[in-house]
A and B are shown apart, each in its own frame.
Chain A
Amino acid sequence: MKKFKATCLGLSLLLAASSLCGCSEKESSDQLLDPKNPVTVTVWHYYNGVQQTTFDEMVNDFNDTVGHKKGVVVEAYSKSSINELADSVIASVNKESGAETPPSIFAAYAETTYKLDKMGAIADLNQYITDKEKDEYIKEYINEGIFSDGSMKIFPTAKSTEVMMINKTDWDKFSSAENVSESDLSTMEGIAETAEKYYEYTDALTPDIPNDGKAFFGRDSVANYMYIGAKQLGCEYFEIDKDGNASVTIKKDVLKKLWENYYVPYVKGYYTAQSRYRSDDAKIGSLIALICSTSGAAYFPSEVTIDNDYTYPIENKVFEVPCFADSEKYYVQQGAGMSVIKSDKKTEYASMLFLKWFTEEERNIEFSISSGYLPVKESANDYNKVSEVNSKLEAPMDDTMLNTIKTAIGEIDSKSLYTSTPFDKSTEARDYIGNTMQNTAADDYAAAWKRISAGEDRDSVLNEYVSDEAFDKWYESFIDGLEKTIS
């Protein structure tokens, strides 16, 4: 009898102890969930087109399998652009009139999460992830989401960088006719020179019509050009002190170089940006080379339609993004992570369950292949694995996508990824820098060519816009505006 009592006591102590352990064990939070009473997790993202379709499929997959088993329903909504998404989240957290209820998860750049965190709205993900799990992810990606107090506020889900793509069919025609080669495309300066040659070449194709040369190049994100270019040239726009206050530190000669290699060729008609994305410009033959996000590579056309009438097939080639000559190599690291809104333990845990599931190696690669976003785990950034997963797919992707990922993995492996440090007004500053360069170039191009088509001499008109005086004027107003933006 005594023995029995002792055993009972021992057993109950053991049970109590194990349940205490359970509290600290992160895995066991599964008991928060109830398959009969599923918790709904809403995700706001900015994926569109192919990415959205793929993401929706994965969400369905999750709901049918793990979600069904554990009691989580994920509902995904696309907010179409990252800025719109940020505004909606802030409005919803502020409970502005007409705003929706806040999502459980949203795709966010550091700036947005930073703002929302100040409002106390972001959950610390450290509660739901172990250090061992963290180690599986690319360190830089994780670090981007760790805030100064050590809390983890952004979870990396899918990253992207930029690649350069060319319409090889038209390039081949051009390069065989003129003295250009692919090596000319390895620097930004080389691109500008080649673009000039291409303009002259296409202008000459119709001798009876003057000044009808075509643009060679375009860039989806001018802001990336400005930030990465400056970094390559050894300088950043801002210095941020301990308190998070920013001051402008960009040097005039660096801006001059950036201006010379975008504004100047743009005004001259060598570069262009007509549609919303450069891939659309490539589709209708407005340009033949472009720098786009890896996630935009899927839209690079397989045929070109001229004047909405004549269509011909093309081939393409993917290159690493060119840097300035004799500069340090830097590539942009972009793509929002996912932040979780503070709510209750159950929803936060369910949110994290989905995010971890979504970034599991093979699934992450599958998403990469169809979307162009890059996997976030160290082990998944391996081209061999990517092509292996691709070959197993029901509908394997074509070479364009594989080459894009291969090129991007090369860029990542060079360990020279860069992303700017967020501060209070970093979003506005970024918008200002990119838009000012693009808008002044586009406006001045329109003004100059209006005069040229009215009969003024091309060279003298263009010289007015690209002179040193013109730059000084541009520089002053640029810096002035920048100061105002961050103050």
Chain B
Amino acid sequence: MNKCKTRSVRKIHIKGRPFFVKLFMAMFIITILQLFIFLSVLLFGGEFSYIKRYAYNAFVEKNANRKSYIENMLTQKMTAANNSAAEIAELVDGMLSERSLNVGDMRSSKELNTEVLSETSDILLSLLRQNQVNDVYMIIDSGELYSSGVQKKLSGIYIRDIDPRENNISNNEDLLMEMGNSNIASELGIVLDYEWAAQLDVTDNSSGSFDFYFNTLKTAEGHSMDNVYELGYWSGFTRISRSADASMKYTVPLIAKDGTVYGVIGIGVTEKLIQDTMLAKETFGSDVCYILGADYENNGEYEVQMYSGSLFARLGRDDLKINKEHRVEGEIYDFNHQGDLKTIGNIQRINLYNSASPFKAQKWALISIGEESGVMAIYNELVVMFVYSSIISIAVCLIGAVIVNRRMTVPVEKMIKVLNKSSAESGDIVSFEPSRINEIDTLGQAITKLQINVRASASRVSKIIGMVDMGIGVFMYDYSKSRVYVGESLVKLLNFSELPFGEDVTISFEKFSEYLRAIDTENKVCSNSIFSDIEERPVKTDIELMYKNASGDEKWLKFSLTLESMNVLGLVQDITASVNEKRRIEFERDYDITTGLLNRRAYLNILDELFSKPDKLKTAAIIMTDLDNLKYVNDTYGHDFGDDYIRGAANILNEFSDYGGIVSRLSGDEFNVFLYGFDTKDEIRDIIEKIRRKMMRSYCLLADGTKYKIRASGGISWYPDNSKSYDMLMKYADFAMYTIKHTTKGSIAEFDENEYKKDSILMTGVEEMNRIIDEERVRFAYQAIVSAKSGEVIGYELLMRPQSEILKSPLDLIRIAKSSSKLYEIERLTWLKGLEGFSEQIKKGNIAPDSKAFVNSLASCIVDYENTEFIEREYGAILSNIMMEMLEGETENEVYTSQKLETIERWKAGIALDDFGTGYNSEYLFMKLSPDLIKIDRSIISGCDKDQGKVNIINNLIRMAKNKNAAVLAEGVETSGELKRVIECGVDYIQGYYITRPVFEPQPIKTEIIEDILSINGK
């Protein structure tokens, strides 16, 4: 093994690397490099973790969507049941009062019970038909009327529709009566179910089957509640007879006018209905299951009510604890952390009760559990795909390299073989077989041609060299005889005065060395070294030496030596001209012509070299300087004076070189200084301060004789504290410089990393939104609303301003939130942060404590119970100051709207209808919501002083509002003309830029505006 290695190493050393190996290695390295870059981008760019997070988000959002679906389904049914309960209560009240009876009589008259049930059955049936529920029922608290002995029975009616999706049925053929009077069944054409009973036998409630009745009744009796709907109660899956399927029930109490609770009505839905309407198909053979859970105890742990999907059964449902104890990430939890199957889960609260409900502590939720391998399939596949594609691309590259190389090397090898052969019997002209590779064939032809040419010219060269005075001399050293043949040309070139001019001479090697040493003052071409290693390096072309001739001019010579059998052939060239030219170019390349300072390229080269030996740097700084006012000088006095100004500054900056600094003009008015090798920052700071002072004192004389002060701003970044890379340091210094330049010109600042980060993190909108939501990065601006009579501030509209460089506009934020189902979060921030800010402003004294807070609420969302409770606890004192602005056209969710109205009523807060007058159903909404205030849209106000049509609209709106005792606010008043006109029309309040713009810290209204308002009012 070892032997092998040594041999191959030697071989390579002697022969150089084969063409094949070189090409192949290059291609291989490029491929590896590409893969490496690709992988780094994926890993360090965070792509993998993004994809993982997106997979999680998709999982959560899917569950959220399903939850919304179920929530909507259930709340719709609740609303329908509530309405039916009201209808029935009214009907029963009517029936009883017609006969001068009261609900208590239902405990003594069976006929009355039957009659009531018969009369109300139509309402129940239409509740069943119109709302896709399995069960409808009404149970009357008939006391002991139907009971006998220990058996307790209640009168009622209970109808079941096994398949409520099938509603296209003309009669009641598809219904079953589980319980109730058979005459009613016969009248309605409903079949009695197998276990039909005339009354509900509630004797045995050990399994909680009748909790739906008892809990509802008991709770209703214990609560005096204006709103009966808040007493509705959801119970889990129970059955009322042995064989019928269990259903989950929503029960509403029936309450007479005098407050007596005399029964319940309700609806039931079976597991099958919930599964069929939304879950069945998708969960087929899937690795996700959905669970409807209820947390009756309010301890954060959900009991399984029903589930769908076979995954749940596979998990073994007994020991599964559905709670938020084991968080994986964000809203992802692990409920099965003890099990073998790796799963993730998500809990979505289903809001069934509003905050006033006595059952609000009972929580329902949709829980999704997914097999991690399934949910993360895309992520996992991606990783596998990446690995495969890497392997394949390496393989393809290797094969490609082998093929290409073989095609390239074979013809070259052939050529070498031919050449080797021919050189053995010298003299013949060699020609090559065509290789079909253009370059190689051309090379072959060139070699052939060269042979011919060389032969022809060889005899002439020496003569010509001698004839032409072109600064070239030749010699030949025969070291077997230790003699040197010196060509006539060399004698001429080197001015060997002791030798005869005009002919070739042969002298001893010692003599020759002596001559050489005479000119080789720096001992570069010491005779020993130049010839002693000629056997190891048979060709030398890199020996240059400089000497001063008799007249003191610098002369440059270049020696080229070639060993040929026992002779060293030497060529000496006078390269003075080209050296001078090269120097001139180098200077121009590295220095800026205007200032004589290093230019950017040279400066970076120097830094590059310095940073490759970091131990010499110690403490170092990069100072970025930018001239102030150069543009002004250029524009006012012309570029020549501009250049003077630059030169003046450059001269001062160049003093840094006294302290070992490297000074460069990077471009136009930008200079850069690198100071290094110091022990402390303070040493550097002192130097900078010294030179800065000097600059403060200096000026530049301009055309008109003014002494124009030289001013520059600067930024400093520190090595190694800020970064160890010079281009980062330059960037940081630049950043520091621009930051200070934006505030105060002519000063110098050090780099601040925090500020830099804040400025530069760029992300996509969604991530930004998530960040805004997660970190609650919103502030609120306050736009004052003033009285149209007195000009006094009566309140402020709270306008959300996301604190983000990327998402500055609240509308963008809402749009992104909407598309990623995060509107709820915005609504939550609106209330929580809005009220927090508002209270702070009150505390600061910027806002009077009785000012109204106009809060823009999103109609399609509602703040959940916990947050509502929080708001009520924290901001109880200002709740009655709130005016909730509702947007016309966004009130499609009736349930949320009514819940909001209910909240507003409880807070004794007000409702304002926003953008009023622009929607098509303004009046309808106005009647429906009875707002305390309407805000006339800016599109109507704008230009109203010049448009009688708009004035008419304003007048109409005001009349309509006054009829309903609603106040009127004119939005978007921007000119004094508009102000005058709206006050004349009789609006109550005014808001707009003319009064004040939205600001973060409210200021008092300008006195001239108040005076303006007062004078329009004639005061």
Partner of B185, one of A38, A75, A275: A275
CB distance from B110 to the nearest CB of A (A): 7
Query: Which of B280-288, B482-490, B944-952 forms part of the interface with chain A?
Result: B280-288
CB distance from B277 to the nearest CB of A (A): 12
Q: Are B162 and A49 in contact (CB under 8 A)?
A: yes
Question: In the complex, what residues of A have CB within 8 A of residue B190's CB?
Answer: 276
Q: Which of A25-77 contact B (CB under 8 A)?
A: 35, 38, 40, 48-50, 52-53, 56, 63-64, 68, 73, 75, 77
Q: What number of A residues sit within 8 Å (CB to CB) of B? A: 36
Question: In the complex, what residues of A have CB within 8 A of residue B186's CB?
Answer: 274-275, 280
- Given A280-B191, A283-B192, A298-B194, A80–B173 Cβ distance below 8 Å? yes
CB distance from B281 to the nearest CB of A (A): 7
Partner of A84, one of B169, B192, B196, B285: B169
Q: Are B196 and A53 in contact (CB under 8 A)?
A: no
Q: Are B285 and A35 in contact (CB under 8 A)?
A: yes
Indicate if A346 sits at the interface (CB-CB under 8 A). Answer: no
Q: Are A280 and B192 in contact (CB under 8 A)?
A: yes
Indicate if B655 sits at the interface (CB-CB under 8 A). Answer: no
Indicate if B221 sits at the interface (CB-CB under 8 A). Answer: no
Indicate if A299 sits at the interface (CB-CB under 8 A). Answer: yes
Question: In the complex, what residues of A have CB within 8 A of residue B110's CB?
Answer: 309
Partner of B162, one of A53, A88, A274, A283: A53
Indicate if B114 sits at the interface (CB-CB under 8 A). Answer: yes
Q: Are A305 and B197 in contact (CB under 8 A)?
A: yes
Question: In the complex, what residues of A have CB within 8 A of residue B173's CB?
Answer: 48, 80-81, 84, 276
Indicate if A221 sits at the interface (CB-CB under 8 A). Answer: no
Measured CB to CB, the nearest residue on chain B to A68 is B285
Measured CB to CB, the nearest residue on chain A to B168 is A88
Partner of B182, one of A56, A79, A305: A305
Q: Which of A262-312 contact B (CB under 8 A)?
A: 274-277, 279-280, 283-284, 298-299, 301, 305, 308-309, 311
Indicate if B245 sits at the interface (CB-CB under 8 A). Answer: yes
Partner of A276, one of B166, B189, B197, B245: B189
Q: Are B196 and A283 in contact (CB under 8 A)?
A: yes
Indicate if A387 sits at the interface (CB-CB under 8 A). Answer: no
Indicate if B183 sits at the interface (CB-CB under 8 A). Answer: yes
Indicate if A78 sits at the interface (CB-CB under 8 A). Answer: yes
CB distance from A464 to the nearest CB of B (A): 28
Measured CB to CB, the nearest residue on chain A to B113 is A308
Question: In the complex, what residues of B have CB within 8 A of residue A48's CB?
Answer: 162, 173-174, 176, 191
Partner of A309, one of B165, B169, B189, B198: B198
CB distance from B193 to the nearest CB of A (A): 6
Indicate if B360 sits at the interface (CB-CB under 8 A). Answer: no
Measured CB to CB, the nearest residue on chain B to A67 is B284
Q: Are A277 and B191 in contact (CB under 8 A)?
A: yes
Q: Which of B144-196 contact A (CB under 8 A)?
A: 146, 162-163, 165-166, 168-170, 173-174, 176, 181-183, 185-186, 189-194, 196
Indicate if B349 sits at the interface (CB-CB under 8 A). Answer: no
Q: Are B197 and A75 in contact (CB under 8 A)?
A: no
Indicate if B310 sits at the interface (CB-CB under 8 A). Answer: yes
Give complex CA distance A163, B284 in Å. 41
Question: In the complex, what residues of B have CB within 8 A of residue A53's CB?
Answer: 162, 245
Indicate if B272 sits at the interface (CB-CB under 8 A). Answer: yes
CB distance from A73 to the nearest CB of B (A): 5
Q: Are A49 and B192 in contact (CB under 8 A)?
A: no
Partner of A78, one of B166, B191, B310: B166
Question: In the complex, what residues of B have CB within 8 A of residue A38's CB?
Answer: 284-285
Q: Are B165 and A77 in contact (CB under 8 A)?
A: yes
Question: In the complex, what residues of A have CB within 8 A of residue B191's CB?
Answer: 48-49, 275-277, 280, 299
Main SS at interface, chain B: loop
Question: In the complex, what residues of B have CB within 8 A of residue A56's CB?
Answer: 272
Give complex CA distance A75, B272 in Å. 12
Question: In the complex, what residues of A have CB within 8 A of residue B174's CB?
Answer: 48, 78, 80
Q: Are B194 and A50 in contact (CB under 8 A)?
A: yes
Question: In the complex, what residues of B have CB within 8 A of residue A81's CB?
Answer: 173
- Given A276-B191, A283-B192, A308-B114, A80–B166 Cβ distance below 8 Å? yes
Q: Are A311 and B198 in contact (CB under 8 A)?
A: yes
Partner of A280, one of B181, B182, B243: B182
Question: In the complex, what residues of A have CB within 8 A of residue B192's CB?
Answer: 275, 279-280, 283, 299
Question: In the complex, what residues of B have CB within 8 A of residue A77's CB?
Answer: 163, 165-166
- Given A53-B162, A84-B169, A280-B186, A308–B194 Cβ distance below 8 Å? no
CB distance from B169 to the nearest CB of A (A): 6
Residues 129-165 of chain A: 1 if any B CB is under 8 Å from the residue's CB, otherwise 0? 0000000000000000000000000000000000000
- Given A49-B191, A78-B174, A275-B191, A308–B284 Cβ distance below 8 Å? no
Question: In the complex, what residues of B have CB within 8 A of residue A40's CB?
Answer: 281
Q: Which of B259-314 contact A (CB under 8 A)?
A: 272, 280-281, 284-285, 310
Q: Which of B189-220 contact A (CB under 8 A)?
A: 189-194, 196-199
Residues 126-159 of chain B: 1 if any A CB is under 8 Å from the residue's CB, otherwise 0? 0000000000000000000010000000000000
Question: In the complex, what residues of B have CB within 8 A of residue A49's CB?
Answer: 162, 176, 191, 193-194
CB distance from B178 to the nearest CB of A (A): 11
Q: Which of A222-280 contact B (CB under 8 A)?
A: 274-277, 279-280
Measured CB to CB, the nearest residue on chain A to B196 is A283
Q: Are A284 and B194 in contact (CB under 8 A)?
A: no
Question: In the complex, what residues of B have CB within 8 A of residue A78's CB?
Answer: 162-163, 166, 174
Give complex CA distance A116, B445 in Å. 89
CB distance from B239 to the nearest CB of A (A): 12
Measured CB to CB, the nearest residue on chain A to B281 is A73
Q: Are B198 and A308 in contact (CB under 8 A)?
A: yes
Question: In the complex, what residues of B have CB within 8 A of residue A276's CB?
Answer: 173, 189-191
Q: Are B162 and A308 in contact (CB under 8 A)?
A: no
Q: Are B169 and A80 in contact (CB under 8 A)?
A: yes
Give complex CA distance A309, B185 in Å. 15
Question: In the complex, what residues of A have CB within 8 A of residue B185's CB?
Answer: 275, 280
Q: Are A64 and B310 in contact (CB under 8 A)?
A: yes
Give complex CA distance A63, B283 in Å. 11
Question: In the complex, what residues of A have CB within 8 A of residue B146's CB?
Answer: 309
Question: In the complex, what residues of B have CB within 8 A of residue A311's CB?
Answer: 197-198
- Given A280-B186, A298-B194, A305-B197, A73–B166 Cβ distance below 8 Å? no
CB distance from A303 to the nearest CB of B (A): 8
Residues 799-814 of chain B: 1 if any A CB is under 8 Å from the residue's CB, otherwise 0? 0000000000000000
Question: In the complex, what residues of B have CB within 8 A of residue A277's CB?
Answer: 191
CB distance from B304 to the nearest CB of A (A): 18
Residues 731-744 of chain B: 1 if any A CB is under 8 Å from the residue's CB, otherwise 0? 00000000000000
Give complex CA distance A63, B170 in Å. 32
Partner of A308, one of B166, B181, B272, B285: B181
Give complex CA distance A35, B284 in Å. 10
Give complex CA distance A237, B211 in Å. 58
Measured CB to CB, the nearest residue on chain A to B181 is A308
CB distance from B565 to the nearest CB of A (A): 62
Q: Are B310 and A52 in contact (CB under 8 A)?
A: no
Q: Which of A73-123 contact B (CB under 8 A)?
A: 73, 75, 77-81, 84, 88
Give complex CA distance A298, B194 in Å. 7
14 A–B contacts, CB within 8 A, in A order: A40-B281, A48-B176, A49-B193, A53-B245, A56-B272, A75-B280, A78-B174, A79-B166, A80-B169, A81-B173, A299-B191, A305-B182, A305-B198, A308-B182
Which A residues lie at the B interface, using CB under 8 A? 35, 38, 40, 48-50, 52-53, 56, 63-64, 68, 73, 75, 77-81, 84, 88, 274-277, 279-280, 283-284, 298-299, 301, 305, 308-309, 311
Report the 10 A-B pairs with minimum CB-CB distance, sorted nearest first: A80-B174, A308-B198, A284-B182, A78-B163, A280-B192, A308-B181, A80-B173, A305-B198, A275-B186, A52-B162
Taking A53-B162, A274-B186, A276-B189 as known contacts, 19 extra A-B pairs with beta carbons closer than 8 A to each other, sorted by chain A number, are A40-B281, A49-B162, A49-B176, A49-B191, A53-B245, A63-B284, A73-B284, A275-B185, A276-B190, A276-B191, A277-B191, A280-B182, A284-B182, A298-B194, A299-B194, A308-B181, A308-B182, A308-B198, A309-B110
